[in-house]
Structure formats: C-alpha cells, structure tokens
Structure 1
C-alpha cells in the first residue's frame, strides 16, 4: 500500500485482538520512541505504529510545505491510515503535537476513535495574557528559537534536546533525541516547528466526545502543568494523571509510569 510506505507503517501485537492502539509520535522523533511502552500491550492489542511525514523513515517525497503548514495535513494522514487499514475499536495514543492532532481527528471524523490518550500535549504553546492563559512561551522566545534553528540547526538541536529531555543523569536520552532531530531536513524541521508552536486549538477542547487521558510530567519545558490543568477543565470526560518523571518525553524516560497510567485508563 502506498500509505504504508508514506508513513512507514508497522503493525505488531495480537492481530486477532478486538482492540487497536495507534501510536503517534511528537516533533523531532519517530515511532521507535514508543518501543519501551508498546511491549506491555502486544498480547492484548493490535498495535499500529507510523512516522509523521517529514520525520523518521516516512517517504520524504510525500512532504509538502503547503499540506503540513497546519495540523490539517496530519489529521488527514491519520484518518487515511485508520481507513486504509480498516481499523475499528481504536484508542489513539498521541505524544506532544500528535495528541492534539488525535483530538482534532476525533472531531473531524466522529467515531474514528473510542478513546484518546494525550502525552505532554498542548492546545497552544504561546502565552495569551488577554485570556490569562499560560502556554509556556512568549512570541519573542519563539522568534529566538526559530532564529537559532535557522542560524545553526545542528547546534540548536543539541542544546534543545537536552532542555526538552530534562534527564541530565541520563545523557544518552538527550543524545538520542538530538540524533533524531538532526536526521530531519533542517528546512522541514523549521517549518514544522513554526506550525506547531504557533497553533491555537483551545476552542476545540470543549467539543470532544470521547474519553480522554491527559498525561503530564513533573517538569516539562514545552508544556507547563498549567496547560494540562487547562485541558482537564475544558475537555468533557477527561482524566489527568501526573507522572513523576521530568521532561517532555515520559514514554522514553519513564515508560513503566506511562504504561501504568495507560492501563489504568484502558
């Protein structure tokens, strides 16, 4: 299937299981970031892993700056994957921006998911003083981030990976993230970063119709705790669990905590 090549799709787990888990990764990483989590579910679930176009081992020829200038292109990709594979009884597990992409997919394609799990996700990264919203960044800090990416992408990736992973006692995690970031074409990474950090989907939260699990880490540079509290207050039928690890990648730094939270929710 063309879509299997486009998104580097892998299906593992129990092919006869009535329930399916679909895992969507965040910016700068790929499906292998879930490797320590998915093993806990292979006996009881069909598991679908994929790479967002532009990252991982997706088909780079499929990337379009126009299509992926917003989250809409990724929403359509997820719907195409679900429909092409004929998946039913799906729980979508999305890390970072993929959590929000999953939320938007559930709204644009009602019934496509039964449940949604959002790991370190945010409806808006930019502060909004008029509405007393803390997203974690002001516009100048984001402009500085883009400028750093454009000036020396590899140097930026090295510094940003350590801050975002926030696991100084385990430098190999930051090194792995840096390697994943630098494997992405710089122009694509910069364009995707702009589309992510400038998004604002706060108005969508109130319309979600399915159960949602919100996972928040103890100290996340990209998504402060106030964001998960904001989402919990506005997403009907949502549950928020705070895991004790630090950084933006709890499924990599503390996979067993994430597994436990997901199993409780499921």
Structure 2
C-alpha cells in the first residue's frame, strides 16, 4: 500500500489476509471508520477488509483537505478509485453509509471493475426537495441555510443537537454522544464546507449509468433520508433490492448492527 495514500485516507487492511474476497467499508459524514467496529467483526474471518476515512473527517490527513478540490462528490469518488487501484481490488463488496453511497456510485460509473456487489445504507442522491421534479429529498433551502448559520455561530451546540437527532434512539443516548465526539473532532470550517457539498449535491442523473447489483438498507425515522428517497432509489437503480431494517435513525449500522449484518450477509 502506498504510504502517502495510507496517510491521506487513514487506510487499514484487516481481516483474513489469505482470502481472495475483499469487503470495503466506507463511513458517512461526521463519523470515522470506527463506525464499523461491530459490523466488521462478522466478516473478519471470511474477508480481507479495507477501511478508510474520507478526506475532511476522521483521522484522514488534514493537510490533504482543500475546499476547492473537494467542492463536489467527484473528488471523493476519485479518492476511492485511487484506493481501489492501489490495493488491486477486483470485484470487491462495497458497504457504504450515507454520502459514501453516492461517492461509491460515482466511482462505479467512472470505473466499474473494482466492485461487484454494493450495499448502500441511508443513501440519498439529493437532500434538497425538488418541486419541479416532484422529488422529496427531505430538506428545503431555508432549512439548510438555518443549519449552516447555526454551525457558523455555535458549532458545538449544533453538534450536540444534530448528533442526537440523526442518531435517534433516545433510549440509548450514548450512541448520539459517540457520534457527537467524532463530529466535534472535525474543524468547524471544514465541517461547514463539507456539509454544504453533501447537502447541496445532486447526482440523480448519474443513476441511469449505474449498473451494480445493489442492496439499499433503510431504517425508520431517518431525519436525513426520508422513506421517499429510498423509494426513489429503488425505482431508479436498475438492479437493486430495498430492505427495511428494524432500526431507527440515520446510523443503523451503529444502533442496530446485527440487523445490518444479517441484511448484508443475505445479500452477499
């Protein structure tokens, strides 16, 4: 593995080094690769496992982040392709959460050889509503502007509120607190810039070019991704299965890992 790339994306290769099967885990915004700590254990004996952090979060190299370079999801897709090429991946299984789902989709359209089956957890091709297309993304522009303003004026107060809402599961507040810690570790100006790129992204047109066999995992009461978005992806990805898991919030792989493990295993 390239030492430069390893440092850039905080890449680790774990699991069974003697198998030809590889599974890649890619986390969403505000978390780091530790989000997969429970889920990955279920695959450690049968797969070589690749985990990494997207630039701008986790323990990725902070010097690698540039708001100009990472002004769209395509830059993150290029990073994923660099990792895949460096590790000689071929027909790997990809498990991606939230924004990393659409990053994976973009990467697969650019170069389809690296991944065979793909799992999207809480994926969205566009977070903003689009009335002209009768599309419900879940957010309005004024709501996003209000969020950006709160992030700018008091980032850590925003972290506290957003983390508990996004995680859900009020009976287990430690889950939201764990997300708050990884979210608070991101430099506020970087978090704001990355949030804008994510929440104002629109990759719906690329879905027509995406051909991978895909499992869509959707939880209940996801404040970031309403059910209408899961239904939209189900209709617009050519080869997919939509599976609802018995979990609440935007992070079912953290709050209900056994549900997610069972869904992934039945798919792959």
TM-score after normalising by structure 1: 0.99
| Partner SS state of residue 105, structure 1 | helix
The CA RMSD over aligned residues, in Å, is 0.7
Q: How many residues align?
A: 266
1:216 corresponds to = 218
| Aligned residue runs from structure 1 range 172-251, under 5 A | 172-251=174-253
Q: Contact (CA 8 Å) 1:114, 1:210: kept in 2 or not?
A: yes
| Aligned residue runs from structure 1 range 50-89, under 5 A | 50-89=52-91
2:146 corresponds to = 144
1:47 corresponds to = 49
Alignment of 1:24 with 2:21, yes or no, is no
Q: Contact (CA 8 Å) 1:6, 1:62: kept in 2 or not?
A: yes
Q: Contact (CA 8 Å) 1:18, 1:89: kept in 2 or not?
A: no
Cα deviation 1:17-69 (Å, max 9, x = unaligned): 12111111000000000111000001111100001111111110111111111
1:165 corresponds to = 167
Instruction: Please point out which of 119, 129, 132 is paired with 1:130.
Output: 132
2:264 corresponds to = 262
Q: Contact (CA 8 Å) 1:7, 1:53: kept in 2 or not?
A: yes
CA distance in 2, matches of 1:12, 1:206: 34
CA distance in 2, matches of 1:11, 1:207: 30
Q: Contact (CA 8 Å) 1:18, 1:45: kept in 2 or not?
A: yes
| Partner SS state of residue 40, structure 1 | helix
CA distance in 2, matches of 1:181, 1:12: 25
Q: Contact (CA 8 Å) 2:91, 2:113: kept in 1 or not?
A: no
2:97 corresponds to = 95
Q: Contact (CA 8 Å) 2:29, 2:98: kept in 1 or not?
A: yes
TM-score after normalising by structure 2: 0.98
| Structure 2 unpaired stretches of 5+ | none
Structure 1: 4+ residue segments shifted above 6 A = none
